């Protein structure tokens, strides 16, 4: 019998078995594809996606780019054809070898972080590919990018999250522009994951006390390169319908269920690590949702005979926290009764007087009427708290100063690590190949990619080559947008005239602006149409503009939904049919298409509400130029040559601020962006524009890649004492 493997190798055997079972259905020569499908490392290999697509493009699309389902469902005929194709077989073998080499590399043991004691990264969502729908947006994509980067750097790292059986909602928009939500089953059996089993060959089953029940859960392992992600799942026959629902929907609307999810993630997550014999050196709470883990840890220390205060101090030495929310409303709080109802036993472990625990979550611990929040708890129970950009650091120190009475705002102990994005996931293979040809060898290696000197060679890339790569992305996007928009409009019941405008005229040579992000009011999508006539004139002028937008409003956020509806009212103007398109159901796949294919990436948050933002970084990796309010990451990146900025003049009166920022946006577009894009040389190349694209790559590549971000975490957060 195979020896049972523990620690971060837990569940490897189960993944391997699942891959072997899948391989049995494939022609022998394609067997390596099964191993590839069960590790998401193909996602950021330059040939990964293309390889699957080349086997059966139609089936690949139908399967939502889910590699496991694709191999299960691809007709034998296509598989046999692929098995006869020497090039496909060789590419599959090559990809499989690359993956095995990645897995075989020795770990980078850095300070406190070792294979025996990895970082345990707790997060409510993880986004690393659209085929594992356990994310909603920026927070999850950041978590996914960190897992990928830890894998690239061979840093011992495990993710802990929940296996949402219904994931996040999908979006459909009707002809009026009103958003509707629907959910469908994640069906983990048909995805690249496997349940972790014990010696008896049965799934490891653990119980966690939530409400007045013992909730059983299983653990799924997902391989993201070298980084395992463990997802907890309560969808088990022995559970009641209520507790099965705990791991059903991401950001569930019912607050009591949401609190149960937080208990599951924090307390359940720690129990899962115990069962897998993983002893983390550092527990990293990404956003406040998993903060319940600290209460469970304190209970354990107290069981060893420590006082509450001593126990808290011991726990604090192991836990670090990243805050992402710059508005108080985003930091949910719960009453004593609510918390007691969900976590009676967790609290009782902390002594007869649950007051001690509740105090940790209040701004004013002595105010018994105040409810308790996850963020305050997380800050108090961590040895380090960081925000996600320099500006956000300042905002967070101001916001949480009341937790540190007697301290000036500047000396509130909250630092920042500015977000980055995982370069190999977000830079198109075409752009990577271009840089392969012109940057020094090994430019993507961790020690090189963050060095500005590595990127100097960008300036030597012939303008025509860079422009050609950018045009190729635009054409690819335009083709997809045309067909998608036709289908979307038909589905909504629009008139055939309006439908056909999308098919005929959406033009890859027209300057294209992209705006895709969560549809929350503070993101101010409406600024684009603040002066409707002026925008319409630009859309249809002699040097026209095109506007692509996408994004989901939270199901309970009617303001966000109305913002979308208002945008749809533009449809009544005949000029917009061929120049404006809304793309439904924004996800990671759409994000990569748009960030690479648009010419300008627009971001208009009301300053200082954008904690960091990351989609603009993804755009910059593809030389898509940012035009953004100077907030979040952009305030650190913008240097006058690498994009455009709207000043972050803060203003109490929102209407005044909106009017002023809208004018600044239109002025920039009319006076700078449009002329620069359309001003071409004899070969049709916009020299001034390409110069900006180069400045964008050269300045943003080294500083906002996830390599720099993870380096900062290792050096300044994980290892610092
Ligand atoms: C990157 C990304 C985000 C976050 O983008 P912001 O700029 O922070 O709004 C949200 N959703 C998806 C699908 C993404 O890929």
Which residue's CA lies nearest to atom 6 of ligand 1?
A: 613
Q: Does the structure show a pLDDT above 50 at 1?
A: no
What distance in Å separates the CA atoms of residue 528 and residue 543, rounded to the nearest whole number?
A: 18
Q: Does the structure show a pLDDT above 80 at 354?
A: yes
Alpha-carbon torsion (58, 59, 61, 62), positive or negative: positive
What distance in Å separates the CA atoms of residue 351 and residue 57, rounded to the nearest whole number?
A: 60
Does ligand 1 come within 6 angstroms of the Cβ of 226?
no
CA of 144 to the centre of ligand 1 (A): 12
User: Which whole number is the average pLDDT over 637-642?
Assistant: 98
- At 351, is the pLDDT very low, low, confident or very high (cuts 50, 70, 90)? confident
Q: Are strands 372-373 and 333-334 parallel, antiparallel or unpaired?
A: antiparallel
* pLDDT tens, position by position, 290-303: 999 999 999 999 99
Beta-sheet strand order (sheet of 580-583): 580-583, 545-550, 511-516, 600-603, 625-629, 643-646
- At 4, is the pLDDT very low, low, confident or very high (cuts 50, 70, 90)? low
Mutate to test the pocket of ligand 1, among 132, 614, 616, 624 (most ligand atoms within 8 A of CB): 614
pLDDT recorded at residue 327: 82
CA of 611 to the centre of ligand 1 (A): 12
CA of 693 to the centre of ligand 1 (A): 21
Ligand 1 atom nearest the C-alpha of 616 is 7
Ligand 1 atom nearest the C-alpha of 587 is 13
Does ligand 1 come within 6 angstroms of the Cβ of 141?
yes
* pLDDT tens, position by position, 458-506: 999 999 999 999 999 999 999 999 999 999 999 999 999 888 888 877 8
Can you tell me which residue has the tokens 């719960």?
Answer: 334
CA of 418 to the centre of ligand 1 (A): 15
- At 672, is the pLDDT very low, low, confident or very high (cuts 50, 70, 90)? very high
Residues 148 and 422 sit within 8 Å (Cβ to Cβ): yes
Q: Does the structure show a pLDDT above 70 at 79?
A: yes
Does ligand 1 come within 6 angstroms of the Cβ of 615?
yes
CA of 346 to the centre of ligand 1 (A): 35
Residues 304 and 332 sit within 8 Å (Cβ to Cβ): no
Radius of gyration of the chain (CA): 25
**120-134, 336-350, 406-420: the lowest-pLDDT one:** 336-350
pLDDT recorded at residue 720: 76
CA of 624 to the centre of ligand 1 (A): 15
Ligand 1 atom nearest the C-alpha of 142 is 1
Residues 651 and 660 sit within 8 Å (Cβ to Cβ): yes
What does pTM read for this prediction? 0.97
User: Which whole number is the average pLDDT over 319-330?
Assistant: 89
b (16+ CB within 10 A) / e for 626-648: bbbbbbbbbbbbbeeebbbbbeb
Which residue's CA lies nearest to atom 1 of ligand 1?
A: 615
> Counting Cβ atoms within 10 Å, is residue 662 exposed (0-12), middle (13-18) or buried (19+)?
buried
Mutate to test the pocket of ligand 1, among 126, 131, 138 (most ligand atoms within 8 A of CB): 138
DSSP reduced 3-state for 187: coil
Ligand 1 atom nearest the C-alpha of 588 is 13
* pLDDT tens, position by position, 445-459: 999 999 999 999 999
Residues 648 and 607 sit within 8 Å (Cβ to Cβ): yes
Domains with residue ranges and CATH for the chain: 11-104 (no CATH), 439-704 (3.40.50.2000)
Ligand 1 atom nearest the C-alpha of 615 is 7
Residues 534 and 501 sit within 8 Å (Cβ to Cβ): no
- At 2, is the pLDDT very low, low, confident or very high (cuts 50, 70, 90)? very low
pLDDT recorded at residue 503: 83
**228-242, 647-661, 669-683: the lowest-pLDDT one:** 647-661
Q: Does the structure show a pLDDT above 60 at 92?
A: yes
- Report DSSP letters for 433-491, one per residue: HHHHHHSPTTTTSHHHHT-HHHHGGGGGS-HHHHHHHHHHHHHHHHHHHHHHHHHHHHH
Q: Does the structure show a pLDDT above 80 at 707?
A: yes
In eight-state DSSP terms, residue 546 is E
Does ligand 1 come within 6 angstroms of the Cβ of 517?
yes
Does ligand 1 come within 6 angstroms of the Cβ of 588?
yes
Alpha-carbon torsion (56, 59, 61, 65), positive or negative: negative
Does ligand 1 come within 6 angstroms of the Cβ of 389?
no
Q: Which residues contact 76 (CB under 8 A, 6 or more apart)?
A: none
- At 348, is the pLDDT very low, low, confident or very high (cuts 50, 70, 90)? confident
Q: Are strands 170-173 and 333-334 parallel, antiparallel or unpaired?
A: unpaired
Token output for 214: 């013992």
What distance in Å separates the CA atoms of residue 5 and residue 392, rounded to the nearest whole number?
A: 42
Does ligand 1 come within 6 angstroms of the Cβ of 138?
yes
Does ligand 1 come within 6 angstroms of the Cβ of 177?
no
Q: Which residues contact 45 (CB under 8 A, 6 or more apart)?
A: 95, 98, 99, 424
Helices within 125-180 (DSSP H only): 138-152
Which residue's CA lies nearest to atom 8 of ligand 1?
A: 613
Does ligand 1 come within 6 angstroms of the Cβ of 525?
no
The number of angstroms, rounded, from the C-alpha of 157 to the middle of its chain's C-alpha atoms is 17
Residues 349 and 299 sit within 8 Å (Cβ to Cβ): yes
Q: Is the peptide bond before 608 cis (omega within 30 degrees of 0)?
A: yes
Containing 591, the helix (H) or strand (E) segment is helix 588-597
Which residue's CA lies nearest to atom 9 of ligand 1?
A: 517
Ligand 1 atom nearest the C-alpha of 586 is 13
Does ligand 1 come within 6 angstroms of the Cβ of 610?
no
Question: Phi and psi (nearest 5°) for 552?
Answer: -110, 140
Does ligand 1 come within 6 angstroms of the Cβ of 137?
yes
Nearest partner of 287 among 649, 612, 564, judged by Cα: 612
Hey, what long-range contacts does 556-562 have (CB within 8 A, 24 or more apart)? 556/253, 557/519, 557/520, 557/521, 559/521, 560/518, 560/519, 560/520, 560/521, 561/178, 561/179, 561/519
* pLDDT tens, position by position, 531-553: 999 999 999 999 999 999 999 99
Which residue's CA lies nearest to atom 12 of ligand 1?
A: 137
Helices within 609-686 (DSSP H only): 615-621, 634-637, 654-668, 674-678
pLDDT recorded at residue 504: 76
What distance in Å separates the CA atoms of residue 72 and residue 554, rounded to the nearest whole number?
A: 34
CA of 616 to the centre of ligand 1 (A): 9
Q: Does the structure show a pLDDT above 80 at 7?
A: yes
- Report DSSP letters for 382-428, one per residue: -SEEEESSHHHHHHHHHHHGGGSTT--GGGSSEEE----B-HHHHS-
pLDDT recorded at residue 571: 78
């Amino acid at each position: 019998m195979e020896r049972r493997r523990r620690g971060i190798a837990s569940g490897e055997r189960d993944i391997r078995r699942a891959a072997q079972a899948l391989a049995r259905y494939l022609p022998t020569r394609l067997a390596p594809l099964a191993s590839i499908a069960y590790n998401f490392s193909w996602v950021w290999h330059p040939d990964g996606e293309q390889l699957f697509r080349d086997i059966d493009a139609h089936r690949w699309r139908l399967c939502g780019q889910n590699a496991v389902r694709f191999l299960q469902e691809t007709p034998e005929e296509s598989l046999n054809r692929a098995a006869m194709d020497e090039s496909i077989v060789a590419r599959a073998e090559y990809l499989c070898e690359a993956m095995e080499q990645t897995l075989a590399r020795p770990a980078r043991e850095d300070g406190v972080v070792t294979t025996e004691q990895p970082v345990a990264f707790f997060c409510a969502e993880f986004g690393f590919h659209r085929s594992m729908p356990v994310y909603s947006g920026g927070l999850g994509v950041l978590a996914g990018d960190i897992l990928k980067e830890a894998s690239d750097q061979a840093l011992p790292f495990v993710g802990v999250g929940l296996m949402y059986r219904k994931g996040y909602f999908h979006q459909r928009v009707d002809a009026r522009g009103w958003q509707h939500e629907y959910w469908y089953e994640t069906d983990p059996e048909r995805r690249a994951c496997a349940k972790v089993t014990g010696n008896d060959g049965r799934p490891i089953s653990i119980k966690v006390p939530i409400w007045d029940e013992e909730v059983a859960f299983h653990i799924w392992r997902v391989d993201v390169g070298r980084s395992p992600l463990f997802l907890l799942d309560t969808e088990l026959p022995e559970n009641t319908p209520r507790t099965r629902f705990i791991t059903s929907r991401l950001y569930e609307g019912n607050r009591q269920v949401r609190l149960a999810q937080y208990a599951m993630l924090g307390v359940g997550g720690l129990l899962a690590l115990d069962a897998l014999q993983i002893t983390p050196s550092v527990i990293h709470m990404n956003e406040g949702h998993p903060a319940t883990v600290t209460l469970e840890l304190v209970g354990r220390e107290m069981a060893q005979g420590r006082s509450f205060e001593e126990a808290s101090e011991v726990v604090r030495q192991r836990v670090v926290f990243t805050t992402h929310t710059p508005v108080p409303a985003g930091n949910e709080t719960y009453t004593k009764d609510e918390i007691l109802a969900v976590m009676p036993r967790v609290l009782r472990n902390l002594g007869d007087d649950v007051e001690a625990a509740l105090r940790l979550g209040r701004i004013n611990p002595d105010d018994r009427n105040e409810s308790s929040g996850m963020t305050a708890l997380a800050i108090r129970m961590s040895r380090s708290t960081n925000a996600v950009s320099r500006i956000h650091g300042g905002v967070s120190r101001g916001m949480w100063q009341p937790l540190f009475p007697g301290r000036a705002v500047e000396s509130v102990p909250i630092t920042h690590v500015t977000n980055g994005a995982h370069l190999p996931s977000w830079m198109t293979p075409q752009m990577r190949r271009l840089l392969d040809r012109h940057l020094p060898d090994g430019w993507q290696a961790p020690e090189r990619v963050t060095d500005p000197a590595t990127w100097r060679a960008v300036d030597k890339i012939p303008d025509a080559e860079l422009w050609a790569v950018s045009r190729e992305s635009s054409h690819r996007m335009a083709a997809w947008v045309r067909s998608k928009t036709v289908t979307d409009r038909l589905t909504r019941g629009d008139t055939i005239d309006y439908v056909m405008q999308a098919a005929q005229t959406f033009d890859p040579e027209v300057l294209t602006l992209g705006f895709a992000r969560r549809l929350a009011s503070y993101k101010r999508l409406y600024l684009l149409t603040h002066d409707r006539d002026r925008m319409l004139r630009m859309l249809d002028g002699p040097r026209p503009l095109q506007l692509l937008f996408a994004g989901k409003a939270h199901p309970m956020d009617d303001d966000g939904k109305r913002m979308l509806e208002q945008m749809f009212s533009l449809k009544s103007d005949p000029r917009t049919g061929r120049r404006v398109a809304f793309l439904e159901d924004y996800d990671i796949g759409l994000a990569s298409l748009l960030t690479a294919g648009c010419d300008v990436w627009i971001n208009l948050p009301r300053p200082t509400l954008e904690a960091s933002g990351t989609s603009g970084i993804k755009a910059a990796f593809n030389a898509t130029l940012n035009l953004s309010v100077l907030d979040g990451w952009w305030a650190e990146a913008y240097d006058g040559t690498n994009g455009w900025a709207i000043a972050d003049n803060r203003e109490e009166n929102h209407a005044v601020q909106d009017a002023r920022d809208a004018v600044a946006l239109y002025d920039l577009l009319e006076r700078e962006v449009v002329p620069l894009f359309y001003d071409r040389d004899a070969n049709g190349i916009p020299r001034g524009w390409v110069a900006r694209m180069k400045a964008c790559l050269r300045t943003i590549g080294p500083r906002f890649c996830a390599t720099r971000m993870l380096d900062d975490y290792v050096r300044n957060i994980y290892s610092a004492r």
